[in-house]
Structure 1
């Protein structure tokens, strides 16, 4: 029977590719990857001429059957992500579970990970952490996700796109408090690597003024006992906002009052007012 290798690849610096990962990729019969063009460059770097097959969220279930056929035929397959360790906010989970269920050997080849690299360099590590991947884009799922960050008793590691980073930090500052410690790690292991460690409010202001480029990982410090007051402030802000909306004040006016009186940023206050106004419209 064949073997399925889960191969960690560099997150920016090719020198971080381990000798074991190099040998595994060079010896694989096939390489499975989300971005085939990017992975072909890596394959050429290690001297592999193996075919590279696309595995992504839209075709993973359909391709899993074929992968099982290759394994049953005794082939050696290497699954990689675009960068870092496979299956961390990447497709492949369905395939790995089915391979295990079918009795095939699944072998991890450890290596680089943006998640643990950012956490280690953040200055916020406590011995355990919570990884939440990318934030949902909108609605109830996003609000629940943000509350998990706010209430976490361990550091939280998340991913975000450069275009949405400032908005996320601003929203977190409004919910968690602008002084909640955090770190933003950008372009890790690359030439323009940057790690900024400040409160959420200061980080939000910086990245509004200086839009980032490249891969971004955010680490938010654990909630402490004293930050229970932040949740209370949020609840008070919501109650005040609802009362003003009930009186007919538009969301823009509500946002001005909340921002001035509750220490919330103007953008976060406006989003709160809009969310509450939309919820009232739906329930009307």
Structure 2
């Protein structure tokens, strides 16, 4: 068990996790500005992006880069600096560090080393979008980014779409239409969705409607800017619809030849090994036999 007293006297430095604006610079708190001005070092996801923020608030603190590509080497060095008594502020490009952004690795290492970790709260895109969405705000389930590949994304959506909580996702604009199409495929046309675009900025916009309505909107409009995608929690009827769809998907392969049955499951979102295992189980066949049939491997009779 570990007890942290954030503001007691100590011989080591403090790691501050500082929220930065998600768009509107007026959302920067006085405490955040003071903290960034007083620490020894700012660990930034992108030092060039952070420099723009620092310039606006006339902050001249030294910066260092800490991101997904260098944290394995950099985080231990920062922990050593903290143990030596330096104070460090960690920031992401926007919002809260660690929430679909780099940060959690340094936090975990600092805690393991007995270093105080102090949050400086501020804007978070997911929560900001949720409170204005019109969907049930609690309970909610924050997921962040979905897998990029279609089969993996559909499989993930099938798992998440039966949850009763409001679901919160982040998605890149160029992938948003395909993602909504996948939600329609899994959830049907009537699930309630909300898209929050360019939060806190001049062109902030909320799009509220069904999966079918939002997909139709994308047929005539191009997504621009940063988006938060929110999906209403599954009602009992929604859960039955998705479960029934999964059951139909499984029984659809019963009359197919072995190789085609495996391929159908793969196309529905399963990985090849999972599909082979399921077909072997359903047909009471040896898994290796199904594997050979699917991959057209002939036994070597010498």
CA 1:276–1:240 in structure 2 vs 1: closer, same or farther (change >3 Å)? farther
Corresponding residue of 2:65: 54
Q: Is the 8 A contact 1:6 1:106 kept in 2?
A: yes
- Correspondence for 1:71 among 64, 67, 82: 82
Q: Which segment is superposed worse, 90-99 or 137-146? A: 137-146
2:217 pairs with 1:202: no
Corresponding residue of 1:238: 249
Q: Is the 8 A contact 2:158 2:242 kept in 1?
A: no
Say which one has the larger Rg.
2
Q: For the residues of structure 2 that align with 1:155 and 1:8, how far apart are their CA atoms?
A: 24
Residue deviations 1:1-36, cap 9 Å, x none? 111100011000000001111111111211111111
- Correspondence for 2:181 among 150, 170, 184: 170
SS in structure 2 opposite 1:151? coil
Number of equivalenced pairs = 263
Residue deviations 1:92-119, cap 9 Å, x none? 1111111111111110000000010111
Corresponding residue of 2:37: 26
Q: Which segments of 5 or more consecutive residues in structure 2 lack a partner in the other structure?
A: 1-11, 277-289, 295-302
Q: Which segment is superposed worse, 18-27 or 234-243? A: 234-243
Provide the alpha-carbon RMSD of the alignment: 2.6
Cα shift at 1:245:
6.6
Q: For the residues of structure 2 that align with 1:203 and 1:148, how far apart are their CA atoms?
A: 22
Q: Is the 8 A contact 1:11 1:83 kept in 2?
A: yes
Corresponding residue of 2:95: 84
Cα shift at 1:64:
1.1
Q: Is the 8 A contact 2:172 2:227 kept in 1?
A: yes
2:123 pairs with 1:112: yes
- Correspondence for 1:152 among 158, 163, 184: 163
- Correspondence for 1:184 among 171, 195, 207: 195
Residue deviations 1:152-176, cap 9 Å, x none? 1100000110000000001001101
Residue deviations 1:115-136, cap 9 Å, x none? 1011111111242110111011
Q: Which segments of 5 or more consecutive residues in structure 1 lack a partner in the other structure?
A: 250-270
Residue deviations 1:36-89, cap 9 Å, x none? 111011112222111221111111111012101221222121101111111001
Q: For the residues of structure 2 that align with 1:278 and 1:127, how far apart are their CA atoms?
A: 34
CA 1:209–1:236 in structure 2 vs 1: closer, same or farther (change >3 Å)? farther
- Correspondence for 2:148 among 129, 132, 137: 137
- Correspondence for 1:10 among 13, 21, 27: 21
Q: Which segment is superposed worse, 227-236 or 105-114? A: 227-236
